[in-house]
Amino acid sequence: MKSLGFLGAPLLSSVFLIFLSLFMLVFGLFSVVYSGDSYVVEWQFFYLCGVDWTLPIMFDSISVIFSCFVCLISSSVCLFSVSYMEGEVFMRRFILLIMGFVGSMNMLIFVPSMVSILLGWDGLGVVSFALVIYYQNKKSLAAGMLTVLANRVGDALLILSVCYLINWGDWRFSYGLFGSFGVLICFLVVVGGMTKSAQIPFSAWLPAAMAAPTPVSALVHSSTLVTAGVYLVIRFYSSLVGSWEVMWFLSKVGGLTLLMAGLSACYEVDLKKIIALSTLSQLGLMMFTVGVGYPMIASFHLFTHALFKALLFLCAGAVIHSTYDTQDGRILGSVNNLLPFSVGGLVLSSAALCGVPFLSGFYSKDLILEGVFSGLSGVLEAGVVLIGASLSLVYSLRILFIGVFGQSFMGSLVSFSVESVYVIISILVLSVGAILGGWFLQEVWVGVSGFYLVGNFGKLVVGAVTFVGFGYLVAVLLAGTVAKRQSSWWLSWFFSKMWFMSLISGSLVAGIGLSGSVLMSTTLDQGWMEVFGGQGTFSVLGNLMALVVFVQKNSLLVFVRVFLILLIFSLGFLL
């Protein structure tokens, strides 16, 4: 009974979410996706002074499929948590936070109104802070503060955009915006989405959030928190497309984030941070795709990425948990014979991340590269995207080399544990999605987005760029002695620091922001605000009361003094 009480919360949550995912899959596909219809359900709270307060809920192809994948991945995460969090005392509280995270994400998915979307947006920020600081140590608290402060910047920008939307009298941002505030509102929404998706210069919080438990990382960095910004930009693309300046800015920032995260992942040694930087690289690719005018292809890649990245996190978490929480790539390795299911899922998800043909990542990445060739993007942008796409093979092979096939520098093999049946089931469920998810979504997406045709040369480039990174990796391994020279240490140091994004966004937001708030608190709240506020008012009133008491002492000398003072003031006023 004690074991059943421990397993009750995660198992019930997993069963509920898998049934909800199947319901969205069956009824959503047949009633929304295949029919091509969209439904909007509005719940009116009240109507006052010409303002209609409603809660709209929109069911269309993107929201239904996205919600289906979120529920599927969340059910696998809950099942994986049974084994990973087996020593956790407050298991119900952990699962409650997971369910709150899933509920906030679904509220964000189905709501088209900018005011109502803030409920799910803020819910994601609050629950993510509680999950990142779950281990309650100094590192977790620092990562949680950096995460919540970066997300609060996006919250403030979205609230400002809502204030400017009053000029249109409606908060449904899905309509086209024209006028003096159109570009400003679009810019605020795009930068607000960039904070959640950790684009440059807000990139420091995403690798820092790896301080959370691995099930949280699998959920946060695959299909929920980091994809909320991309989903926001895709959802309101019909309004953003009218501002070419904003789209140009979004494509440039997305391309830089793709290149920065890919190069940083090639020099990172922490296993979980390499996977986090690969997520950041794919988010930059999605933002670039939206910026160059292909939002449906970006949403396609968003769905396929959620499947294989959740599998990658769960398999890496199983390896880390089985080796007594060892995630340093310099001592990991040679676990392929000890953890067959986890290592098999790690290889499969890494292959899907590379874009190996006929896996989930191949379909969406191929469409993106074809769209770059057939679109109007410049030569420099196309080159950046090709380099970033080829780097995905480099850091995927690094994950396999340091976590699976490399030499182990750990202690005895007694420290390894046996894979749990819950881990195996969750890995098998997501493995099916990583293999068949791209093919299934392509069949669904034919009627939604269509095809983009390129020439034979473009096809050859798209096919070759997947394996360009392999040649680069072989060249680096052959020239390993050159890489160890003193002349190249500064280059690896620069790339491992994420182009100093941790100093720009991390120290700027967390360090300078917190120290500035302490300074303002001591000088304003406890200084001038007290002088002119509570303490100052109390002192002035006390002196006035003392003066009144002094005047009313019934002393003849005091009365004579008051009479002379009033006489002098009266004569001065009359003269």
What's the pLDDT score for residue 236?
A: 82
Kindly state the average pLDDT of the residues 107-132: 83
Determine the Cα–Cα distance for residues 148 and 446; give it in Å rounded to an integer.
Answer: 39
Give the range among 29-38, 307-316, 362-371, 471-480 with minimum mean pLDDT.
471-480
DSSP letter for 405, please. Answer: I
Task: Tell me the pLDDT band of 480, cut-offs 50, 70 and 90.
Answer: very low
Residue type, 239: S
**Residue appearing with tokens 């046996």:** 418
- Residues 17/71, Cβ–Cβ less than 8 Å: yes
Determine the Cα–Cα distance for residues 339 and 32; give it in Å rounded to an integer.
Answer: 41
* Domain ranges within the chain, ordered by starting residue: 287-483, 542-575
Region for 413 from its dihedrals, namely left if φ exceeds 0, alpha if ψ lies in -120 to 50, beta otherwise: alpha
CB atoms within 10 A of CB 393: 24
E-assigned strands of 413-563?
none
Region for 37 from its dihedrals, namely left if φ exceeds 0, alpha if ψ lies in -120 to 50, beta otherwise: beta
Q: Taking 80 as the threshold, does the pLDDT of residue 222 lie above it?
A: no
The pLDDT mean for the chain works out to 75
CB atoms within 10 A of CB 120: 19
pLDDT digits (tens, 9 = 90+) for 510-566: 566 666 767 776 666 666 666 677 677 777 788 888 877 777 777 777 777 777 888
